[in-house]
Amino acid sequence: MNQYLTDIISRMNDESDQILESGYNSSDTISWKALREAEKIDNENYIPELTEFIDSEKDKKKRDKAYFLLGHIAKNTNNTKATEYLIKRVEKETDKYIVSSLLNRISNLEKPNGIDLQPLINAIENNKWQIRQSAIQSLKNAEDRIAEKALIGILAVSEDQYDLTYANATLNNMGTVKAIPFLEKHLNSKKRDVKGSAKFAIESIKKRAEEESTTANKELW
């Protein structure tokens, strides 16, 4: 793999200068600086090398940082193939923290129609809350209505306040008017976060629908 990629993955995992003492500033560490550097990378030529590295690398910490890097390249370049690859890897990993982190990367990526979201849908049913709740959030920016259907399913049957709050927040981002009746059922929730997130989601969906209608009418003229 490219020496630069090997180096930055190593630096992201470097804990040699992380000490617990008065005056310690994490933003001065090697890993913190490397992570901020990785967030800005937009070289699509790195994608094939990173996917090959991930497929063969046994060290989960190195894979985790490679996911971080690939996720930001995908975001910075809107590279659909990189996004598809990351989604497929959700079913390959077994460590709950690695999977949760990977799903968090995916949540920030645009997911246009045509991308297979099934690995994310499956992860919503995981019995580990770290994975399940990250999976719910990973459906942000998804255009395929299968994502909305899965989130509505959570609103219809779940009693977990965190699952409900994250589902509401995700629908806030990409839901349609179809979700409103299900969101309305939670406006009287005794859980403040559930109630508040449902209210905000309904408002965002209505605003988005109004804007889309206005745009469509302008195009007709």
Rounded to an integer, what distance in angstroms lies between the CA atom of residue 39 and that of residue 42? 9
Sequence-separated (6 or more) residues with CB below 8 Å from residue 107: 134, 137, 138, 139, 140, 141
Within 10 Å of residue 63's Cβ, how many Cβ atoms?
A: 22
Give the CA dihedral 142, 194, 203, 105, nearest 10 degrees: -30
Q: Would the pLDDT of 214 be above 80? A: no
Least confident of 25-29, 107-111, 132-136, 159-163: 25-29
Q: What local confidence, expressed as pLDDT, does residue 171 receive?
A: 98
Q: Would the pLDDT of 213 be above 80? A: no
Q: Would the pLDDT of 157 be above 60? A: yes
Q: What local confidence, expressed as pLDDT, does residue 191 receive?
A: 97
pLDDT tens digits for range 35-56 = 999 999 999 999 999 999 999 9
Q: What local confidence, expressed as pLDDT, does residue 212 receive?
A: 81
Q: What local confidence, expressed as pLDDT, does residue 20 receive?
A: 63
pLDDT tens digits for range 86-125 = 999 999 999 999 999 999 999 999 999 999 999 999 999 9
Q: What local confidence, expressed as pLDDT, does residue 219 receive?
A: 62
Q: What local confidence, expressed as pLDDT, does residue 19 receive?
A: 72
pLDDT tens digits for range 167-189 = 999 999 999 999 999 999 999 99
**Which two structure tokens, joined as six digits, stand for 14?**
């470097």
Residue 24: band (very low, low, confident or very high) from pLDDT cuts 50, 70, 90: low
**Which two structure tokens, joined as six digits, stand for 135?**
């999976």
All structural domains of the chain, each given as residue ranges with its CATH number in brackets, are 1-11+31-143 (1.25.10.10), 155-221 (1.25.10)
